[in-house]
Chains A and B, each alone.
Chain A
Amino acid sequence: MILFYLTIPAFIIFFVSFFEIDKAKKILPYSSFLVLLPIIYLFLVDKPYNLIGDYMIATKLNTYVLLVSSIVAIGVILSLITLDKRVKISKKGYIQFYRFFATFWLGLTVSILSNNMGIYWIGLELATLSTVYMIKTNLSKRSISEAWNYMIVGTIAISLVLFGIILIYASAKPVLAEDAMNFQLLLENIKYIKSKTLFEIGFLMVSLGMFIKMGFFPMSLWLANIERASYYPIAALFSGILESAILVGFFNFSSLAMKINPSGVFAFVFIYAFLTLFIITFLLFKAKDFIRLFSLSGIEHMVIITLFWVSGAHFAALLHFGAHAFLKPALFLSSGILEFKKKYNFAGTLKGFGGFYGNLFYYLVGFLILAVISLPPSPMFFSEIYGISAIFSIALKSKYMLLVLTFVLLFLFLLSIIFYKFIQVYQSMKYEGEEVEKVVYVNEILSICIFALATLSLLSPLAFNYLKGIYE
């Protein structure tokens, strides 16, 4: 029943999209708030809480991820009200955007709550296919070509994930029979698996698929290109919801793999993360528009989250994850406003905002940009302190202490280049270029306010205690 309540807002959007969307789109943000009621209930009940047998369950981890992704969905729905004032979109395109957004949301809710690898994959695939059409709503040749790109690369990534799942299932089936797909049972019985190599190859394939989907090395630019070619709320959905579902899958799969070969998993993710960050830093330094800048920075943050997770700094990873999931969609939605007059330009984009909403937007964008580069009191500042110290403690116990420490220092050096780039862009936005008058709509400012408040709420003792309690 709870699952039904959780999916009601998505179903409402889906059905409303068959009727007059112009009037209904103003009601949809209110109906989307309904999703918070069952989530609050899930926070209050004892966990794990079975939603559909043991196929779908609410754990402390996925309830948190569900809350984060639902807040992102609410914020995006709110900003969609004035999408037609920001971009050129046909009425049919608008309707279909809502319809596929509902399918996307539904798919990812299923993925996040699934306790079964197969169901997790089905939800993710459903969301991937819906995204293809959302990219396509922007009627341009480039967006069509990027939609096909997404279809092909997304399919390769998701097929690798399925390939890995089949191998993991094959390795665990002699022990658990058909329950070998159940995450929790597998975690409890992982030590009885005889074919560890088969499991490890499976995990490797799953990770590669997920890394491709998150834009890790060597597929670092495809995501940024797709986000550039599509309407800006799609980038917000990617960073806030799709990547949340992929990360929750990575958390589950890597928790299994860490029980078998923790040092192997750490080494694999560490090398992969370093290579990705190395490439991303240079691409980000050359970025000439907001969407690419934020998209590449999103990959940087996912690198950090995965690295913290496999280092055992679960609290840091989850705090960073929450902050990333709120800050990035807010920045992508802001970029729709900042780029309204001219794309591929940073200079003076923060000038020309007048009135109460304009001034509020000016300060909020400043807050978001400074928070995303981990300036205190951003939650990212604390997560990075905790996470880096966890990696240091691993290095101190390791045989390869000097090697790990050297890589950590290089890592910090690359992060400082990204920090410099963001400061440079922020200064250019504020002090360079010409002043052109710009408008901010109420719904847009409300949406960004939700994200800013949600980010700040991560610093509350309640949030800290909950996140610490997830893996205690």
Chain B
Amino acid sequence: MMINFSIGIFLATLIVSILSTRLLKLIFWYGVNSFFLGLLAIFIGFKQGDSVLIFSGVITLIFKAFTIPYYLKKFAIKFNLKRDVESDVKVHFNVMLIPVLIVFSFYLVSPFAHTVGQNSNYVAISISSLFLSLLLLIEHISVAPKIVGFLLMENSLFLLGITATGGMPMLIELGVFFDLMMAIVVINLLLKEERAI
């Protein structure tokens, strides 16, 4: 029940993010999205008795739900990033594109749905989340929503890892987190240099 609820909210926040036109709102929705992703990992971890997945969920909550959104908000204020982040694709096209991508993901999963068993719907949602975050990433010209799109894409991949495989090995999870932190450092440096020029 809680797993279904969390994954539903995860998808809903992603859709709201695509339709957001304000940067700080977008960062907020990223935080909420990560929060429910963390909860989802914890719930699945408890269900499977997988301590590694619970640990990954806790790290997700700490870093992705709170730390990264906090720093992104700080960067937005510090570097005076453009707050108005209207996408190049008009809202009514987005409203049509989003369900098409979700339905297409379910169609894409159908050839191998039997191999992932009961999780096939979750896998379809993970793949649709990946497409939706890709949409967010490519429909904006300004940098800030692209960064959020990249982070949401990383969330979708984490969700896919949880649902399709029942969690990736711990070493890999930690490596991905390390790379994410490195990405934040590089983004900070890029924004700093951009301001200097």
**A residues bordering B, Cβ < 8 Å?**
55, 116, 118-119, 121-122, 125-126, 129-130, 132-133, 136, 139-141, 144, 147-148, 151-152, 155-156, 159, 162-163, 166-167, 169-171, 173-174, 178, 181, 194-195, 197-198, 201
Closest to A169 in B: B165
Contact mask for chain B residues 153-197; partner A; CB cutoff 8 A; 1 contact, 0 none: 110010011001110110110011011001100110110011011
Contact mask for chain B residues 97-110; partner A; CB cutoff 8 A; 1 contact, 0 none: 00000000000100
Complex contact B112–A169 (CB within 8 A): no
SS class, residues of chain B in contact with chain A: helix
Which residues from A are CB-within-8-Å of B175? 118-119, 121-122
Given the complex of chains A and B, what is the CA–CA distance between A141 and B171 in angstroms? 38
Closest to A199 in B: B112
A–B Cβ pairs within 8 angstroms, 7 of them: A118-B171, A119-B172, A121-B172, A133-B186, A136-B190, A140-B197, A162-B157
Complex contact B115–A136 (CB within 8 A): no
Complex contact A195–B186 (CB within 8 A): no
Given the complex of chains A and B, what is the CA–CA distance between A129 and B116 in angstroms? 33
Given the complex of chains A and B, what is the CA–CA distance between A126 and B181 in angstroms? 10
Q: How many residues of B contact A (CB 8 A)?
A: 37
Known contacts A156-B134, A159-B153: A170-B193 contact under CB 8 Å: no
Complex contact A195–B160 (CB within 8 A): no
Cross-chain pair count, CB within 8 angstroms = 102
Which residues from B are CB-within-8-Å of A171? 112, 115
Given the complex of chains A and B, what is the CA–CA distance between A171 and B171 in angstroms? 20
- Other contacts beyond A159-B154, A159-B157, A197-B112: 8, CB < 8 A: A136-B193, A141-B197, A148-B146, A152-B146, A159-B153, A162-B176, A166-B164, A167-B164
Question: Of A55, A122, A133, which one neighbours B179 at CB under 8 angstroms?
Answer: A122
Given the complex of chains A and B, what is the CA–CA distance between A197 and B111 in angstroms? 7
Complex contact A144–B190 (CB within 8 A): yes
Given the complex of chains A and B, what is the CA–CA distance between A463 and B190 in angstroms? 43
Known contacts A122-B172, A163-B157: A151-B190 contact under CB 8 Å: yes
B32 within 8 A of A: no
Which residues from A are CB-within-8-Å of B116? 170, 198
Given the complex of chains A and B, what is the CA–CA distance between A372 and B169 in angstroms? 43
Chain B, 74-88, CB within 8 A of any chain A CB: none
Complex contact A129–B182 (CB within 8 A): yes
Question: Of B112, B130, B168, which one neighbours A195 at CB under 8 angstroms?
Answer: B112
Closest to B108 in A: A201
